[in-house]
Structure 1
Amino acid sequence: MTRHIGSTPTTADFEALAHAAFARIPEPFAEHLDGITVHVQEFADAETLAAVGLQDPFQLTGLYHGRPMSEESVWISGQFPPRITLYRQPLLAEWRATGVQLDDLVTHVVIHEVGHHFGLSDEEMHALEQGGP
């Protein structure tokens, strides 16, 4: 989705972009994504921001909620299924500030959060993005 004069992308638009990003994830990774849900909120709440060490709600564009696959066990029960939350207003602000296409931006955030599902840290994902080990 490119920038255009007209209406601001809605929650439904963001959900559609997130689902399109999931559809582009190749096997063997895609087979491990069943059950992950996507939610869109305007901003992260104060509790969520504090939990990730942020104060400015515009600094958080997405968040993975759940246990990484590497920590899953048949002995753990009573937990919600994993989910990814996209924060619409910070994503819109980044989209407008950077000129990156919105679908590319949402895909980047979704892939980053999926990385957490596989147990990767932020540092490991940044290294992979930079082509490092």
Structure 2
Amino acid sequence: MSAPAETIWAGTKAPSLAEIEALADAAFAALPEEFRTLCVGLRIHVDDFPDEETLTEMGCESEFDLLGLFRGVGLAQSGEVVSGQMPNAVWLYRRPLLDYWAEHNETLGHLVTHVLVHEIGHHFGLSDDDMAGIEAAADPLETPQA
């Protein structure tokens, strides 16, 4: 006999920034090696929400509209690092990710992997099909639940 749902969830908290970062680090480590080697120097940041400047720049109506963001110079643009240039980085936004997760039928790990691959994909100028292939290679057993 399993425990009642209220008992199972009574002590559960939303994942912290550090826990989302750990999911992102694990997702990145699971990406194909040839993909990761092209991401040398890429930094992954996790914040609760995007800042006001980012929300304005991206035309967001709500702080929940943006799950992640790539900042930097993508390989598709120039690929060459310029002196004084900030390192390429991906931001993942915890609260919008958790909000999206609560409304959809997929695991949090899958969602973090999807957003991370999508944002890194901007670095490479990849198509949605390319990104889906990389995502599948990262964890072929992790699929959205129907």
Q: Give the TM-score normalised by structure 2.
A: 0.76
Instruction: State the identity %.
Output: 44
Q: What is the 5 A alignment of 1:29-40?
A: 29-40=35-46
1:62 to 63, 68, 72: 68
CA contact 2:23–2:112 (8 Å) conserved in 1: yes
Structure 1 residues 83-103: Cα deviation after superposition (integer angstroms, max 9, x where no partner): 111101000001111131100
- 1:1-133 maps to which residues of 2 (within 5 A)? 5=9, 6-70=12-76, 71-73=78-80, 76-120=82-126, 124-125=127-128, 128=130
Q: Which has the higher contact order (CA 8 A, sep 6+)?
A: 1
**CA-to-partner distance for each residue in 1:69-119, whole Å, 9 max, x for gaps?**
231325x21011111111010000011111311000000000001101112
Q: For the pair shown, which has the larger CA radius of gyration, 1 or 2?
A: 2
| TM-score, reference length from structure 1 | 0.83
Distance in 2 separating the partners of 1:58 and 1:104: 19
Unaligned runs of 5+ in 1: none
Alpha-carbon spacing, 1:130–1:29, altered in 2? closer, same or farther (3 Å) = closer
- Deviating beyond 4 angstroms after TM superposition, the runs of 4 or more aligned structure 1 residues are 127-131
The count of residues paired between Structure 1 and Structure 2 equals: 123
